[in-house]
């Protein structure tokens, strides 16, 4: 991206004294300096957004839908630029950037089509049939704060910002410093599609400073990030009694059933565990395979993993790109070094690849990791998969569920048995014969986690309705005389009792 284009995009941000230097993870070189906002600038952004929201909420929902459908077409027309930008800021391979772009574009089409229907006024069964009527409206909450991480800047932006806008809210979004350009470009395209300038504001800066200012001022928060930060956001939002949805970390298991095709299972691990170099919340980090299959499976998986091409390229010739930066490299190598020091065996990878670039790490298969190793229970968030054996399916299910997280899970094997196992797994999604894409790609299916993986769901109609309040309108017929004095109740009581019995039969 040229310096002029970068300057045009960051012109959206107010000027600041402080700036953060953003590096290209693939080569460690500086891309640009990103303004770092102070608390008062975020407060001003929310205030401005509130004014814009008053007008935006008055636009008919089909006008908002049309803007989203136009955005869908504009995103498609700009796909190559989006892919370049995603690769520049995240270091991910073209293939993984492509997967992300496809998800973002689907979100625009989905909310461009279902919002009117989902938000439409709904009649509800009246308390006193014929004499009262009730209906429910969905009212936008006001200004929605969206806080996004660096790893999927385009998809995660679209999955939260678009339904918030479609519901008639304004959005103030905190983009992560590392991938703010992608978010700013997405917003720029949305404005081109007809979203008013001030209905979607992007802010950047220190996580706690800007994050706190958002949570303290908006009407609802959609947070995506680590469980640790999510807890802080939830506590702060609870103090103000505002709603929040939390899409947090995972430690996602896969069970390979006895009788599964082991070659196929290994291929599913390649995409399930190494997409975006494993820096994906729904990435598979633990694989449980029958002890009788374990040696064979490890042999196949190690061979396939070693065949993966790691590198940097703006075409589709590379399987896996770079980690997101210095902190990610420290994190991933720290987990592996700790496990190896405690006796774990690396069967593929297990090392950084500085000959390619400063933050590249080889896709890694590890086994026999002792329970005391840090990576057993914590999210590695890198291209690392830990393979363990099991003796019975009950043991496999118990091991899969033995985690504080509950975001995603996978079962590989004959579909009938896999569906049965899926019933017992504690996770927001279970993918059969896939790592995560079967559920993740469905815009209509709610996505989110149980346990410490979060609360609330994005996608589906619920992903839109979380950004609304319901308002019930009750209308009494002028012919209805409801009691107002104690004596009236006494007179009405026999009739009421009959009515309650009738209602028991006719209402659901």
Active-site amino acid positions = 247, 281
Report 341-400 residues binding ligand NAD (CB under 6 A): 379, 381
Does 413 participate in binding ligand NAD (rule CB under 6 A)?
no
Q: In the complex, what is the shortest distance from the CB of residue 12 to ligand NAD, in angstroms, rounded to a whole number?
A: 17
Among 23, 85, 97, 248, binds ligand NAD (CB under 6 A): 248
Of the candidates 197, 225, 198, 199, which has an alpha carbon nearest to the alpha carbon of residue 210? Answer: 225
Task: Report in angstroms the alpha-carbon separations of 354 from 87, 319, 321.
Answer: 18, 17, 13
Q: Which residue is nearest to ligand NAD (CB)?
A: 211
Bridge partner list, 388: 288
Task: Report in angstroms the alpha-carbon separations of 297 from 267, 269, 289, 320, 412.
Answer: 11, 11, 8, 22, 13
Q: What is the DSSP string of 104-142?
A: HHHHHHHHHHHHHHHHS-EEE--SSTTTEEEEEEEEE-S
Q: Distance (Å, rounded) from C-alpha 68 to C-alpha 352?
A: 42
Shorter beta-carbon distance to ligand NAD: residue 357 or 449: 449
* Cβ pair 354, 360 in contact under 8 A: yes
Determine the interface stretch with ligand NAD among 162-170, 193-201, 205-213, 349-357 (rule: CB under 6 A).
205-213
Does 238 participate in binding ligand NAD (rule CB under 6 A)?
no
Determine the interface stretch with ligand NAD among 89-97, 189-197, 228-236, 341-349 (rule: CB under 6 A).
228-236
Does 229 participate in binding ligand NAD (rule CB under 6 A)?
yes
Determine the interface stretch with ligand NAD among 31-39, 191-199, 241-249, 496-504 (rule: CB under 6 A).
241-249
Contacts 24+ apart (CB under 8 A), 341-345: 342/369, 342/370, 342/372, 342/373, 343/368, 343/370, 344/368, 344/369, 344/370, 344/373
Does 226 participate in binding ligand NAD (rule CB under 6 A)?
yes
Q: Distance (Å, rounded) from C-alpha 304 to C-alpha 297?
A: 11
Tell me how many residues contact ligand NAD (CB under 6 A). 29
The number of angstroms, rounded, from the C-alpha of 87 to the middle of its chain's C-alpha atoms is: 19
Q: Distance (Å, rounded) from C-alpha 317 to C-alpha 311?
A: 9
The residue with tokens 């290209």 is 24
Question: What is the CB neighbour count within 10 angstroms for residue 248?
Answer: 26
Q: In the complex, what is the shortest distance from the CB of residue 120 to ligand NAD, in angstroms, rounded to a whole number?
A: 28
- Rg of the chain over all Cα atoms, to the nearest angstrom: 26
* Cβ pair 293, 457 in contact under 8 A: no
Does 250 participate in binding ligand NAD (rule CB under 6 A)?
yes
Shorter beta-carbon distance to ligand NAD: residue 148 or 386: 148
Does 176 participate in binding ligand NAD (rule CB under 6 A)?
yes
Q: In the complex, what is the shortest distance from the CB of residue 14 to ligand NAD, in angstroms, rounded to a whole number?
A: 18
Site mask for ligand NAD (CB under 6 A), range 454-473, x = bound:
x-------------------
The separation between the first and the last C-alpha atoms of the chain, rounded to the nearest angstrom, is 59
Among 140, 142, 149, 363, binds ligand NAD (CB under 6 A): 149
Q: Distance (Å, rounded) from C-alpha 44 to C-alpha 257?
A: 55
Q: In the complex, what is the shortest distance from the CB of residue 229 to ligand NAD, in angstroms, rounded to a whole number?
A: 3
Determine the interface stretch with ligand NAD among 43-51, 207-215, 347-355, 363-371 (rule: CB under 6 A).
207-215
Q: In the complex, what is the shortest distance from the CB of residue 407 to ligand NAD, in angstroms, rounded to a whole number?
A: 6
Does 25 participate in binding ligand NAD (rule CB under 6 A)?
no
Q: In the complex, what is the shortest distance from the CB of residue 352 to ligand NAD, in angstroms, rounded to a whole number?
A: 19
Shorter beta-carbon distance to ligand NAD: residue 212 or 433: 212
Determine the 3-state secondary structure of 410 from DSSP.
strand
Shorter beta-carbon distance to ligand NAD: residue 417 or 442: 442
Residues at the contact surface with ligand NAD, assessed by CB under 6 A: 147-152, 156, 174, 176, 207-208, 211-212, 224-226, 229, 232-233, 247-250, 281, 379, 381, 407, 449, 454
């Amino acid at each position: 991206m040229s310096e002029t284009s970068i300057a045009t995009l960051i012109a959206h941000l107010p000027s600041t004294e402080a700036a953060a230097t953003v590096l290209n993870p693939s080569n460690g070189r500086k891309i640009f300096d990103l303004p770092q906002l102070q608390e008062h600038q975020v407060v001003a952004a929310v205030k401005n957004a509130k004014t814009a929201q008053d007008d935006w909420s008055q636009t008919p929902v089909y006008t908002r839908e049309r803007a989203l459908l136009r955005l869908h077409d504009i995103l498609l027309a700009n796909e190559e630029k989006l892919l370049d930008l995603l690769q520049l800021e995240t270091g991910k391979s073209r293939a993984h950037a492509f997967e992300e772009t496809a998800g973002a574009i689907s979100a625009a089409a989905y909310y461009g089509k279902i919002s009117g229907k989902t938000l439409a006024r709904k009649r509800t069964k009246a308390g006193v049939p014929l004499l009262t009527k009730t209906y429910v409206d969905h009212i936008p909450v006001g200004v929605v704060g969206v806080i996004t991480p660096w790893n999927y800047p385009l998809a995660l932006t679209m999955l939260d910002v678009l339904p918030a806008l479609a519901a008639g809210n304004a959005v103030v979004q905190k983009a992560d410093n590392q991938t703010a350009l992608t978010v700013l470009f997405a917003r720029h395209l949305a404005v081109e599609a007809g979203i008013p300038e001030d209905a979607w504001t992007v802010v950047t800066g220190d996580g706690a400073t800007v994050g706190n200012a958002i949570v303290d001022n908006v009407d609802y928060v959609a947070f995506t990030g680590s469980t640790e930060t999510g807890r802080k956001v939830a506590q702060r939002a609870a103090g103000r009694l505002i709603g929040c949805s939390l899409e947090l970390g995972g430690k996602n298991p896969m069970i390979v059933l006895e009788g599964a095709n082991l070659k196929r299972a290994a291929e599913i691990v390649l995409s399930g565990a190494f997409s975006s170099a494993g820096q994906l919340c729904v990435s598979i980090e633990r694989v449980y395979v029958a002890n009788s299959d374990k040696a064979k499976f490890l042999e196949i998986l190690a061979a396939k993993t070693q065949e993966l091409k790691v590198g940097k390229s703006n075409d589709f010739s590379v399987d896996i790109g770079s980690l997101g930066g210095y902190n990610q490299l420290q994190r991933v190598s720290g987990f592996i070094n700790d496990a190896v020091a405690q006796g774990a065996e690396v069967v593929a990878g297990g090392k950084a690849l500085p000959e390619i670039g400063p933050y590249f790490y080889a896709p890694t298969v590890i086994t026999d990791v002792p329970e005391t190793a840090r990576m057993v229970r914590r999210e590695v968030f890198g291209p690392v998969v830990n393979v363990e054996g099991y003796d019975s399916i009950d043991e496999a299910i118990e091991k899969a569920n033995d985690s504080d997280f509950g975001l995603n899970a996978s079962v590989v094997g004959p579909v009938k048995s896999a569906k049965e196992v899926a019933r017992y797994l504690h996770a927001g999604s279970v993918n059969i014969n896939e790592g995560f894409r079967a559920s993740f790609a469905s815009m209509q299916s709610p996505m989110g986690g149980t346990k410490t993986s979060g609360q609330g769901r994005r996608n589906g109609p619920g992903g839109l309705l979380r950004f609304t309040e319901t308002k019930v309108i009750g209308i009494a017929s002028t012919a209805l005389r409801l009691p107002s004095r104690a004596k009236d109740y006494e007179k009405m009581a026999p009739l009421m009792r009959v009515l309650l019995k009738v209602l028991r039969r006719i209402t659901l």
